[in-house]
Amino acid sequence: MTFATLDVDAIASTLIGEIGNVGRVQTRHRIKLIKAWEIEEGWNLLELGCGQGDCTVALAEAVGQDGHVTAVDPGPADYGSPATLGQAQAYISAGRLGSRITFVQENPIGFLKAAPEEKQYDAVVLCQCLWYFASLAEIEETLALLATRTKRILVSEFALASSELTSLPHLLSVIALGALAHRDPAPTTNVRTLISPEAIRRILVENVKCSVVREGTVEGAGEMQDGTWESSYTLSKSFETKVNKLVSDERERNYIFTLRDAVKSAKEKLTSKVTTMDIWFGSFTTN
């Protein structure tokens, strides 16, 4: 087993502009995940839900010159901020790690079904992307298809657990966003299908018949900005307007606004900034 030396600044420097600045924080977290997943040099990886590529470049560094990362995302090229997916991915492709990465704009299910039957990967990575999926059924079908393409499924997602009081607003926010998401015909938030680590594990073990190799919590996620982004949006006028527009049932609307009030109360009690909740990771083998 050979593991690459991973340098935060060297990896983050391959990301475009403002994403690179934020990326140093993200990259520290991605490196912790890569070590927890025990990704080796020379591996051929498939990454689903790659987005703007902040995890992709860390994976490309980890697999080294003899490895490769196929990075798939269904998002349109003009989606994203401060740089779009198209801009961010093009910048990476033109850089030092570009030759190790192939970006593909396609729905994961469509990609997996269209690939030749003999196409196999050393591992498939899903790094905090499952909440972007359109439905639980889509998550279940994707995970089932992965068993035909790899012997290792490496996944991480927000833990829906708050070890620090400062991340409580983040936890409450994603529950509110998840409650609204199923009413939104065209959701654009980071929470479209809220799913817990326990549910992910259950699908992989009971439905896909995987075995758990290792799972745990990665420390240090608090410095990431997701907690600030999602709690701020939940308290915004835009969120309030969307709830009033999309939710006609009075009890359901009251439930979402009660969660919003809880976010506000939790945030007001803090003497420091909102942080991001813990992140769960799991390593699974297919049978």
What predicted TM-score, i.e. pTM, was given to this entire model? 0.94
pLDDT, residue 102, reads 98
Query: What parts of the chain have a pLDDT lower than 70?
Result: 1, 18-22, 220, 222
Distance CA 149, CA 24 (A): 31
- Which tens digits make up the pLDDT trace of 73-127? 999 898 887 789 999 999 999 999 999 999 999 999 999 999 888 899 999 999 9
- Which tens digits make up the pLDDT trace of 51-79? 999 999 999 999 999 999 999 999 989 88
pLDDT, residue 222, reads 67
pLDDT, residue 137, reads 96
pLDDT, residue 18, reads 57
Distance CA 149, CA 146 (A): 5
CA distances from 78 to 52, 81, 84, 175 (A): 11, 9, 5, 28
CA distances from 190 to 123, 237, 260 (A): 25, 17, 16
pLDDT, residue 254, reads 98
Distance CA 116, CA 110 (A): 12
